[in-house]
């Protein structure tokens, strides 16, 4: 079965309790369930991961690139959290692995502090979903699926 990778970066393990006025009350486990439901409708398996460590995310992106080339994975939905705004390493990993990525942000980062307005990932992303709460993951899975269909 073909899979879709859902990657979550730093502090997203705290979803549900961290700034609920910004990120809502859903937990990361709720997001995983939502992703499984949505991917399932498209006949896709879900690989769902979270790490607070930049290098771990780089490793997973590289591995996913190999999976995509082998035809076992369509790409990744990536919420890199604050690494979005700092990480050239994640930019290079996506580019180097030629991994189709949809960048997701739960909050509308453009309505927030200036330092959240720049993304190192957007230039190497297939698409971007911002500001729709955790429902953005469902939108991103569908967008990635459509964008990578041959």
The 8-class DSSP code of residue 129 comes to E
Please state the closest distance from residue 37 (CB atom) to ligand DQA, in A. 20
Residues 6+ apart with CB under 8 A from 69: 98
Interface with ligand DQA includes 109 (CB under 6 A)?
yes
How far apart are alpha carbons 23 and 15 in whole angstroms?
7
In this complex, which beta carbon is closest to ligand DQA, that of residue 67 or of residue 91? 91
62 is a contact residue toward ligand DQA (CB under 6 A): no
* 106 touches ligand DQA by CB under 6 A: yes
Which phi and psi (to 5°) does residue 130 adopt?
A: -135, 130
H or E segment to which residue 76 belongs: strand 73-79
- Residues in contact with ligand DQA, shown as a per-residue x/- string from 5 to 24 under the rule CB under 6 A: ------x-------------
Give the catalytic positions in this structure: 23, 105
Task: Check binding of 105 to ligand DQA (CB under 6 A).
Answer: yes
Residues 81-100 as x/- pattern, contact with ligand DQA by CB under 6 A: xx-x----------------
**Identified binder of ligand DQA from the candidate list 3, 50, 51, 79, rule CB under 6 A:** 79
When asked if residue 116 is in the footprint of ligand DQA (CB under 6 A), the reply is: yes
CA angle 144, 146, 147 (to 5 degrees): 65
Judge whether 147 and 116 are in contact, CB under 8 Å. Answer: no
């Amino acid at each position: 079965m073909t899979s879709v990778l859902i990657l979550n970066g730093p502090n997203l393990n705290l979803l549900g309790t961290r700034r609920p006025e910004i990120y809502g009350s859903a937990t990361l486990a709720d997001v995983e369930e939502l992703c499984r439901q949505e991917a399932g409708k498209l006949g896709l398996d879900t690989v769902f991961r979270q790490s607070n460590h930049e290098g771990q995310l780089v490793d997973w992106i590289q591995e996913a690139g190999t999976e995509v080339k082998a035809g076992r994975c369509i790409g990744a939905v990536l919420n890199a959290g604050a690494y979005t705004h700092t990480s050239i390493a994640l930019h290079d990993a996506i580019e180097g692995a030629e991994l189709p990525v949809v960048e997701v942000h739960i909050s509308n980062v453009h309505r927030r502090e200036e330092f959240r307005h720049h993304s190192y990932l957007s230039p190497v992303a297939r698409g971007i979903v911002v500001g729709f709460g955790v429902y953005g993951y469902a939108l991103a899975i569908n967008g990635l699926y459509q964008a990578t269909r041959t």
